Structure 1
Amino acid sequence: MKKLVPVLVILFFMISCTTKEKVDLVLTNATLYSIDEDFTTAEAMAVNQGKIVAIGTSEEIRSKYEGQATLDLKGKFVYPGFNDAHCHFNGYGSNLTQYADLRGTQSPEEIYERLKTHPEKYGGEWILGRSWDQNDWEGKQFPDKTKLDELFPNTPVYLVRVDGHAGWCNSKALEMAGVTASSKVTGGEVLLKNGEPSGILIDNAMGLVFRLVPEITPEQQEKGLLAAQKNCFEAGLTSVTDCGLGKNTILLMDEMQKAGVLKMRINAMLDPTQENFEYFVKKGAYKTDRLLVNTIKIYADGALGSRGALLLEDYSDDPGNSGLQIEPQEFYDSICRLAYDNNYMVATHAIGDGGNRLVLDTYAKYLKGKNDRRWRIEHSQIVTPDDFEKFGQYSIVPSIQATHCTSDMPWAEDRLGPERIKGAYAYQTLLQQNGWLPNGTDFPVENIEPLFTFYSSVFRTDHEGSPEGGWHIAEGLTREQTLRSMTTWAAKASFEENEKGSLEPGKYADFVVLDTDLMTASPEQVLKAKVESTWIGGEKVF
C-alpha cells in the first residue's frame, strides 16, 4: 500500500495540471483589438456568464479554457461592440413604422413622388416624412406648401428636415394648428412667403403642428424598437445613447429588456419634463445591466442647416439672422441646479458658437473648475477660439458626431465664412481639452453605420473621396483615437467605462467581428467593410 501513495500523488498532479476551466465561449485565431489603456492586441478570448474571463494568444486561451462553444475566426478582426454616444434610437424606430424616408432626395419633386405611396404603406390620418434636406437640391432654397396643397388638400402633411430642426407642412396642417402670419414662438420661427406662412416651421415653431400628430401606439413603438435594434445589430452597435425620452418610453424599454426581447444596452437621456424629474431625477440614477438613466437632455439652439444655430454674429449667407436661443437663461439655470443637486448629468445640444458659449458659461457657474461630473455639450460644432479652453477648464465633455462634418462641408463655409469655419468641426482641438471625447451619429439625422463615423473621423471626405486629402484634415482624429471615441470613451461619457467599451477581463462580452482591419484599411476598404457578427454579453445577436 505504501508504494501506491506516490503513484496517486503523481496521477492527481497530472490530472490537475491538465484540467481546463469550463467557460461558455472560446474565441480563437482573431486579431482582437482590446482598446484598453495600452491599445493591446490579442488573438483569443474566453467568455463566461456574459463577461470576459481572459484574452491572450490562441495557444494560451486553448490551454487554459474549455468552451461549451468555440469560434475559430480564421484571422477576422474583433473590436469592442460599437457604442453610438448620441442618437435617437426610439425616434428612429418610430420613423420606421410611421414616416416616409426622404433621405437622399435630390429635389422636392422626388419627395412628392415618395409621399404618394404613404397612405397605402403606413396608413394613418396624416402624411408623415423625415430627412429632407434642401441643401441637396438645386438652388438650396427652403420649399413651400404650394405643391403639398395640390396633392393633399384635405390631409395634413408634416415632414421633418434631416436635422430634426425644421418642419415642412401643408395648409391643412397649418390650419388645424391655427398657425398664421402673426404666430410667434419663443425659440422658433414661422417662415413667411408673400405675407403668409410658407409651410416651413423652425425649431420650437415645429411644436405648433407636431402636437397634433397622433401619438404612436405602444404596439407600434414596440415594433419600431425591435426594428431599430435589428438594424443596429447588423451595423455592429451594441450600445446606444438615446438623447431625450419620456417616462413611458423608458419604462417600455425597461420592460422589453427584462423580458429578453430588447437586448441593446441603452443610456436613456431624459426630456426635461416635470414627470421625468419626479419619477427619475429626484430618486437618483436608475441602472440595470442594459439600461442607464442619469442624464437630462436640453437644447441651447437649433441647427446650422436650417440657420437656427445660435451664432455670435450673423450668418454669412443670411445677414440679419444670428439664429435662435431655444430657452431663456432661467431655464438653463434651473436644469443645471436640479441636475447638480441630484448628481445627474446635463447634456445640452449646442451647434453655433453663440450656443456653445451660452452652455459653457452656464455650466461653469455650477461646475466651478475641474470635476468628474462629465456634463456634456452635444455636437460642440462651432466654437470661437477663446472658448475652447473652457472645455478643459471645467471638465466639460464635447460629444461629437463626425458624419455631421462630412455631410455639412459642402455648404458650412457659406453659412459661417472663412474665419469662423476654422473653429467648426474642430475634433482634434476639442479632444485635446480633456484628452478624450465620445463620438456618435445622431441617427436618424445621419446613417446609423458606425463605420461611416470611423470614415468621417479619420479621412474627412465624402464617400467619393472628395476633397482630396480631407476637409480641414488637421482636425481629423487618428484611427486609434476614433476607435476609442466609438467604444471606451463613449462608455466613459455615461460613467460605464468599468463595465464595457473595451475587451478586458471582468467587462461585458460585447464585441463585433469585422472582415477588415480598421487600423490599416484604405478609405475604400473601410466603406466596404462587412460586419460578420455582433455579440452582446457573449450572445450572438447578429
Structure 2
Amino acid sequence: MTSDLILTNGAVVTEDPARPGARAVAVRGDTIAAVGTDDDIVKLAGPKTRRIDLRGAMVVPGLIDAHGHVRSFGEELANLDLHGVASIEEVARRVRERDAVLPPGAWITGHGWDQNLWPGKKFPDHRPLTEAAPGRPVWLRRVDGHASWANRKAMEVAGVTRRTPEPSGGKIERDARGDPTGVFVDNAQDLVKKARPAPTREQIKEWLRLSLQRLAAGGLTEIHDASVDPEDVDAYRELADEGNLPLRVYLMWNGIGKALIEPLVERPIFVNYRNRLTLRAVKLMVDGAMGSRGAVFQEDYSDDKGNRGLFVTEPDELERRAELAMRKGYQVCTHAIGDRGIRLTIDAYEKALAAVKPTDPRPRIEHLQCVTPEDVARLKPLGIIASMQPSHATSDMYWAEDRVGPERGKGLYAWRWVLDSGVIIAAGSDFPVDPEKPLIGLHSAVTRQDLKNWPAGGWHPDQKMSFEEALRAYTRGAAYAAYEEDHKGRIAPGYWADLTVIGKDLREIPPEEIPNAGIDFTIVGGSVVYERR
C-alpha cells in the first residue's frame, strides 16, 4: 500500500530506542507508516503521494507545549500587546492610539506589561491610563496574568471604591489614603473582570483560531490548554466539528480560586474527540506569581519584608478539590510557584492519593519555580510530573533572585535537580506570558541565557538541560503528561503522524542559533498545517 506523504533527505530524530535516527519518514492516513533510509521510503510512494525533500532539515516528534493559554493568546493577538514595553509612557501612548479608533462603549484591553522593565520597577497607578482614555474602561493584564491594571473608568464601571474589601486570595493595591491605585493582584482581578461585557461564541472561536494558527507556525502540534471554562470547551468542540482545529488540544478545566469544580468534574471525560480534542484534567492554583509577589513562600520575600505571598486557594480547599477531581477520574494539575506553595501542593496530593487510590493519576505541578531539594525528593515516589517552562528562567532571571535571595535562589527553575531525581519534565511556555515558540524554550533549556546570550555561561548553569533532555521534555515528557505516550512523542510505525520540521539540525549548530533555526513544516495527523513559504 502506498503512502500519502513521504519526507526524505532529512535528519530524523525519532525518540525511538529501536531506531534513534533515520533519513526519511512515510505517512499513511494519520499515522506513521515507516521510518528508514531514503531508498526504503521512496519505494512506498505512489502517483498521488506528496513528496517533501527536506534538504537536510531536522524532523522531530511533533513538539508539544504542555502549558499555555490558547484563548488568552488569541485575545491578546486581537488586542494590545505590551510585551517588552519599556516605560509607562509608551503604554499610555498605545492606549491613547487605541482609544481613537474603538467604537463607543468598547473596552481597551491588553496584556504583557511588566513593571520590572520600567525605571523604579514599581507597580503603576491608574493615572496614566485615565489620562490616555478618560472616557472608556481600560484593563491591562500583567505579563504573568497574576495582576491587572485599570483606569478610573474601569473601576467606576466595576463599582470598586475605597470601601471595596480585599477578596480572599487577592490584593487591591491602595495609596496612602486607602484609595485603589488601579492594580489588582490575583483573585482581586475578578472585581473588575466581571464588569467586562461577555464575549460571544464567535469571538471566542475567532480567538482560538487566531491563536492556533500562530502556534502551528511555531512548530507546535499539540497544546495543553491550562484552564478552560465551559464556554471555551463548547467553542473548541464546534471548531472540531467544523474541521477547524489544526492542532491537538489537551484541556484542563478552570478550577482556580472561587470557581466551583463540582459541576465541571461531573461532566464526562472525553479523549481524542474528532482526532483532536481531549478533556480529562483540572487546573488548580495554590498561589500567585513571583513577579507580582503573590507566590507563597515559607519566609518573607527578600525585597518585601512582611510579605510571604497570597493563597489563591487555601490549602485545605486545595486538598478537597484534588481528592474530588481524582475520585471523578480527572488528572489534577496545580499551579505552584513558591516553595511553601509547592510543599503544600505535594502535601495535598499525598493525602488525596492515599484517600482515593486512583489508577494511574499522573498528578502534575505546573511551574515548580522555586523548590527545595527536600521537596524534589518527594515528587517521584508520588508519581508527580513537573510541568515546567524553560523560558520562564531566562525571562525572570533579571529579578527573580531579588525576590528570594541567593540561598533560596539555588532552587529557581531547578531542572537539573528534577531530572536527576528521575522525575519527568513536560515542557511548555505558559504563552502568552512567554513567547509561544518552542525553539526559544529549547534555547533557554540548554543555555539558561536570554536571546542576547546573556549571561556568559548561563544563569545558574548547573541547572541546564542537555539538548536531548530538552527535546524529550517537549515530546515524550509532554506526551506522557497527557496520557499519550503510546501515540505521540516518537516517530515510529503506528504512532500519530505528528511531526515538526526544523530548518536546521539543532545538534549541528551553535546553541545561540537555535531560536532562529526556523520551522519549515508542522504536520498533525498526517496533514500539513503550516508550511514556510
Quickly name the TM-score band, shorter chain normalised: over 0.9
The CA deviation string for residues 454-479 of structure 1, in whole angstroms up to 9 with x for no partner, is 00011000111111001111111110
2:39 maps to which residue?
Answer: 59
Shift of 1:178: 2.5
2:65 is the counterpart of 1:77: no
Q: Which moved more, 1:161-170 or 1:67-76?
A: 67-76
1:247 corresponds to which of 225, 230, 240: 230
Residue 57 of structure 1 aligns to which amino acid in structure 2? T
1:467 corresponds to which of 436, 455, 459: 455
2:43 is paired with a residue whose SS is helix
2:83 maps to which residue?
Answer: 103
1:496 maps to which residue?
Answer: 484
Q: Is the 8 A contact 1:370 1:395 kept in 2?
A: no
Q: Is the 8 A contact 2:323 2:353 kept in 1?
A: no
After superposition, residues 210-249 of structure 1 pair within 5 angstroms as 210-249=193-232
2:127 maps to which residue?
Answer: 146
Q: Is the 8 A contact 1:281 1:294 kept in 2?
A: no
1:193 maps to which residue?
Answer: 175
Shift of 1:119: 3.4
Q: Is the 8 A contact 1:242 1:269 kept in 2?
A: yes
Identity %: 39
Distance 1:389 1:275, change over 3 A: closer
1:74 is paired with a residue whose SS is coil
What CA distance in whole angstroms lies between the structure 2 residues aligned with 1:378 and 1:38?
A: 32
1:293 corresponds to which of 268, 275, 279: 279
The CA deviation string for residues 193-251 of structure 1, in whole angstroms up to 9 with x for no partner, is 12221111110001100111112222222222111111111110110010010112112
2:70 maps to which residue?
Answer: 89
Q: Is the 8 A contact 1:406 1:460 kept in 2?
A: yes
1:26 maps to which residue?
Answer: 6
What CA distance in whole angstroms lies between the structure 2 residues aligned with 1:228 and 1:282?
A: 26
What CA distance in whole angstroms lies between the structure 1 residues aligned with 2:259 and 2:111?
A: 28
What CA distance in whole angstroms lies between the structure 1 residues aligned with 2:277 and 2:68?
A: 15
Shift of 1:424: 1.1
2:22 maps to which residue?
Answer: 42
The CA deviation string for residues 238-284 of structure 1, in whole angstroms up to 9 with x for no partner, is 10010010112112111211211122100010012888644654534
What CA distance in whole angstroms lies between the structure 1 residues aligned with 2:490 and 2:353?
A: 29
Task: Calculate the TM-score normalised by the size of structure 2.
Answer: 0.94
Q: Is the 8 A contact 2:25 2:34 kept in 1?
A: yes
What CA distance in whole angstroms lies between the structure 2 residues aligned with 1:37 and 1:330?
A: 43
Q: Is the 8 A contact 1:145 1:170 kept in 2?
A: yes
2:450 is paired with a residue whose SS is coil
2:108 maps to which residue?
Answer: 127
Shift of 1:64: 4.8
After superposition, residues 160-179 of structure 1 pair within 5 angstroms as 160-179=141-160
2:268 is the counterpart of 1:283: yes
Q: Is the 8 A contact 1:280 1:286 kept in 2?
A: no
Q: Is the 8 A contact 1:282 1:342 kept in 2?
A: no
Q: Which moved more, 1:479-488 or 1:246-255?
A: 246-255
1:350 maps to which residue?
Answer: 336
Residue 436 of structure 2 aligns to which amino acid in structure 1? I
What CA distance in whole angstroms lies between the structure 1 residues aligned with 2:55 and 2:315?
A: 57
Q: Is the 8 A contact 1:371 1:394 kept in 2?
A: no
Larger-Rg structure: 1
2:426 corresponds to which of 408, 432, 438: 438
Shift of 1:122: 5.4
What CA distance in whole angstroms lies between the structure 1 residues aligned with 2:500 and 2:493?
A: 17
What CA distance in whole angstroms lies between the structure 1 residues aligned with 2:496 and 2:261?
A: 29
Structure 2 unaligned residues grouped into runs of 5+: none
Residue 380 of structure 1 aligns to which amino acid in structure 2? L
What CA distance in whole angstroms lies between the structure 1 residues aligned with 2:186 and 2:337?
A: 13
Q: Is the 8 A contact 2:385 2:423 kept in 1?
A: no
Residue 62 of structure 2 aligns to which amino acid in structure 1? G
The CA deviation string for residues 330-360 of structure 1, in whole angstroms up to 9 with x for no partner, is 3212211212212211111111001101101
What CA distance in whole angstroms lies between the structure 2 residues aligned with 1:493 and 1:103?
A: 29
1:423 is paired with a residue whose SS is coil
1:383 maps to which residue?
Answer: 371
2:392 maps to which residue?
Answer: 404
Residue 530 of structure 1 aligns to which amino acid in structure 2? G
1:491 is paired with a residue whose SS is helix
Structure 1 unaligned residues grouped into runs of 5+: 1-20
How many pairs align? 521
Distance 1:509 1:207, change over 3 A: same
2:386 is paired with a residue whose SS is strand
Q: Is the 8 A contact 1:29 1:73 kept in 2?
A: yes
Shift of 1:153: 2.3
Shift of 1:125: 2.0
1:78 is paired with a residue whose SS is strand
After superposition, residues 2-21 of structure 1 pair within 5 angstroms as 21=1
Q: Is the 8 A contact 1:93 1:227 kept in 2?
A: yes
1:266 is paired with a residue whose SS is strand
Shift of 1:180: 2.8
The CA deviation string for residues 297-352 of structure 1, in whole angstroms up to 9 with x for no partner, is 01100000000000100000000101001122332122112122122111111110
Task: Calculate the TM-score normalised by the size of structure 1.
Answer: 0.92
What CA distance in whole angstroms lies between the structure 2 residues aligned with 1:49 and 1:38?
A: 23
2:352 corresponds to which of 366, 369, 372: 366
Q: Which moved more, 1:175-184 or 1:351-360?
A: 175-184
Q: Is the 8 A contact 1:281 1:344 kept in 2?
A: no
Q: Which moved more, 1:452-461 or 1:144-153?
A: 144-153
1:315 maps to which residue?
Answer: 301
What CA distance in whole angstroms lies between the structure 2 residues aligned with 1:227 and 1:190?
A: 33
Q: Is the 8 A contact 1:299 1:326 kept in 2?
A: yes
Shift of 1:384: 2.1
Shift of 1:527: 2.1
Task: Give the aligned CA root-mean-square deviation in angstroms.
Answer: 1.9
What CA distance in whole angstroms lies between the structure 2 residues aligned with 1:475 and 1:411?
A: 18
What CA distance in whole angstroms lies between the structure 2 residues aligned with 1:251 and 1:450?
A: 28
2:190 is the counterpart of 1:203: no
What CA distance in whole angstroms lies between the structure 1 residues aligned with 2:307 and 2:411?
A: 20
Q: Is the 8 A contact 1:35 1:483 kept in 2?
A: no
Distance 1:193 1:214, change over 3 A: same
Q: Is the 8 A contact 2:4 2:45 kept in 1?
A: no
1:541 is paired with a residue whose SS is strand
Q: Which moved more, 1:439-448 or 1:74-83?
A: 74-83
Shift of 1:36: 2.2
